[in-house]
Structure 1
Amino acid sequence: MILCSGEALIDMVPENGVFRPLAGGAVYNTAIALGRLGEPTAYLWPISRDSFGEVLLRPLTEAGVDTGLCPRSDRLTTLALVTLAGGEARYAFYDEGSAGRMLSPDDIPALPAQTEAIFAGGISLVPDPCGTAIEALIQRNHAKLPVMVDPNIRPFFIKDEQAYRARLARILPQADIVKLSADDLEWLYPGFGIEDAARQVLALGARIVLQTGGASGARAIWSGETVEAPAIRTSVADTIGAGDTFNAGVLASLRRQGILSKPGIAAITGDQLHAALGLGAQAAAITVSRPGANPPWAHEMP
């Protein structure tokens, strides 16, 4: 079972001159995508008892994601107002005092024995107490479980850059796989080329850095020769949830190949990495072909 921990929120997406509420959040989207791909998945994040909380729970249940670890809260659900410019999504967050924001380290339970890996990241790494809670989840479990982190850096959401950089400096060395966009790498290491910046992350202790670039495809930078996979050509409705779905495809591939473990990732081959990038790209291509974060089901995959 892959445990996903990170923000769940409501994306207010523009549609025909009005805003339509859609379940979303970077890590939430990855959990949904994993469940739809048929992978055993659990989710850990507070879910509000407000009406939006039910909107969030329904897709998780439909995708077969285990929500037994999700605490319920009387606080409100986080809202993200989405605007689109040239098909690219931009966000404004309404998060202060929300159900997810107030997750604390004391809310992090002992993980079920069937947990095989942890996926975490997103804007949940930025504020406290939830950022400290996710950091505690990783710190307590990274020695025995493989960890994949996608910080999904949103500079406009970061109020204390120094504290956030310090948190990433603690978390990234504990991750086996780190996914970063070209923009993420530029923010982390301004002035470096993409591959040089990725190798800075490897030097911290990560084994694999996955770099995504939309239409330019994806790359895996690791101890061997860089592995590349082209983006799959499709008609793009928008890019909401594309990277999140890519993450799910990569994790699903690693699990199906029998290498989603600390020893498996340590001994990974270039061919295995290429297969993982390929499944991630295939899943993401379906997501971008339709509006909103709407990852593919297993039967929709090639």
Structure 2
Amino acid sequence: MILCAGESLIDMVPEDGAFRPLAGGSVYNTAIALGRLGEDAAYLWPISRDPFGDVLLRPLSEAGVNTDLCPRTDRLTTLALVTLTGGEARYSFYDEGSAGRMLKPDDIPALPEDIQAIFAGGISLVPDPCGAAIEALIERNGDRLPVMLDPNIRPFFVTDADAYRARLARLIARADIVKLSGDDLEWLYPHETPEDAARKVLEQGPRLVLQTGGAAGARAHWSGDPVVAPAIRTTVADTIGAGDTFNAGVLASLRRQGVLSKAGLAAITAERIAAALTLGAQAAAITVSRPGANPPWAHEMPA
């Protein structure tokens, strides 16, 4: 199973002058997308006993995602108020003292033997104690299991930029795959081109650095020449969940190719990377074609 560890929340999405509550969260969306693509996936994050907790659990169950590692808590679910500008999503978070934010390093369980990779990222990396908890998960298991990291940086959510940069540096050094959007790269290295910034990240230790750019497609930086995959042309409803779905497609492809392991990633080829980028782009194109974070099911994917 691929374990996704990180935030789940309720996106309050604008609709007809009001807001519609939808299950979401960067890492949560990736877990849902993996399950819908037919992958064995598990999820680790506290789920509230409030009514929104049931809203979050239902899509996980429907997608076949294992939630045995999700503790239940009486703390409230995080809310994210979404505004859309030209189809681009912007967020305001209501997170203080929430179910997920209060996850502590001591709450991280020993992982089952059938976990074969870890995916982590999102706003769960920013505040403590939950950021320290995710860091502890990777520190304890990263030598044995491949780790994919997508920080999905939200600058307005970061209150201590120096501490956050230090945590990202530690996590990037432990990760095997790091995915960064153009906005992420600009925040990390504001005076570098995206390509130069991605190469600087690669120099910190990952096997793969995936650089995404929406309509510009995706580029993988690794030990060989960069691998490029174009975006799939589609009519965009909004971009909510696009990067999260891309992550799931990449992980699904790597697992299906038999290279989602420490040894497999160490010996990966350009052709295998291209296949992973392509599946990620295909899955993301379906997500952006419909409102909200609504990743494709396996039967909706190109044959």
- What pairs up with 1:246-261 in 2 under 5 angstroms? 246-261=246-261
| Structure 2 residue aligned with 1:148 | 148
Post-superposition offset of 1:40: 0.2
Q: Which residues of structure 1 form unaligned runs of 5+? A: none
What letter corresponds to residue 117 of structure 1 in structure 2? A
CA distance in 2, matches of 1:294, 1:182: 23
Post-superposition offset of 1:195: 1.2
| Structure 2 residue aligned with 1:32 | 32
What letter corresponds to residue 181 of structure 1 in structure 2? S
CA distance in 1, matches of 2:169, 2:180: 14
- What pairs up with 1:11-50 in 2 under 5 angstroms? 11-50=11-50
What letter corresponds to residue 85 of structure 1 in structure 2? T
Please tell me whether residue 102 in structure 1 is matched to residue 105 in structure 2. Answer: no
CA distance in 2, matches of 1:204, 1:258: 25
What letter corresponds to residue 59 of structure 2 in structure 1? P
**TM-score of the superposed pair, with normalisation by structure 1:** 1.00
CA distance in 1, matches of 2:299, 2:107: 36
CA distance in 1, matches of 2:39, 2:95: 30
| Structure 1 residue aligned with 2:201 | 201
What letter corresponds to residue 110 of structure 1 in structure 2? A
- What pairs up with 1:195-274 in 2 under 5 angstroms? 195-274=195-274
Q: Which residues of structure 2 form unaligned runs of 5+? A: none
| Structure 1 residue aligned with 2:188 | 188
CA distance in 2, matches of 1:242, 1:104: 29
What letter corresponds to residue 153 of structure 1 in structure 2? I
User: 1:225-278: CA deviations, max 9, x gaps?
Assistant: 100000000010000000000000000000000000000001000000000000
CA distance in 2, matches of 1:298, 1:16: 31
Post-superposition offset of 1:119: 0.1
C-alpha RMSD of matched pairs (Å): 0.4
- Percent identity for Structure 1 against Structure 2: 80
Please tell me whether residue 299 in structure 1 is matched to residue 299 in structure 2. Answer: yes
Secondary structure in structure 2 of the residue aligned to 1:14: strand
Please tell me whether residue 62 in structure 1 is matched to residue 67 in structure 2. Answer: no
Please tell me whether residue 88 in structure 1 is matched to residue 88 in structure 2. Answer: yes
User: 1:79-111: CA deviations, max 9, x gaps?
Assistant: 000000000000000000000000000110000
| Structure 1 residue aligned with 2:172 | 172
**TM-score of the superposed pair, with normalisation by structure 2:** 0.99
Post-superposition offset of 1:58: 0.1
What letter corresponds to residue 171 of structure 2 in structure 1? I
CA distance in 2, matches of 1:139, 1:207: 17
User: 1:166-222: CA deviations, max 9, x gaps?
Assistant: 101111000000000011011101111111111111111111100100000000011
CA distance in 1, matches of 2:162, 2:180: 19
What letter corresponds to residue 214 of structure 1 in structure 2? G
CA distance in 2, matches of 1:71, 1:249: 27
CA distance in 1, matches of 2:142, 2:242: 26
CA distance in 1, matches of 2:81, 2:42: 27
Post-superposition offset of 1:16: 1.0
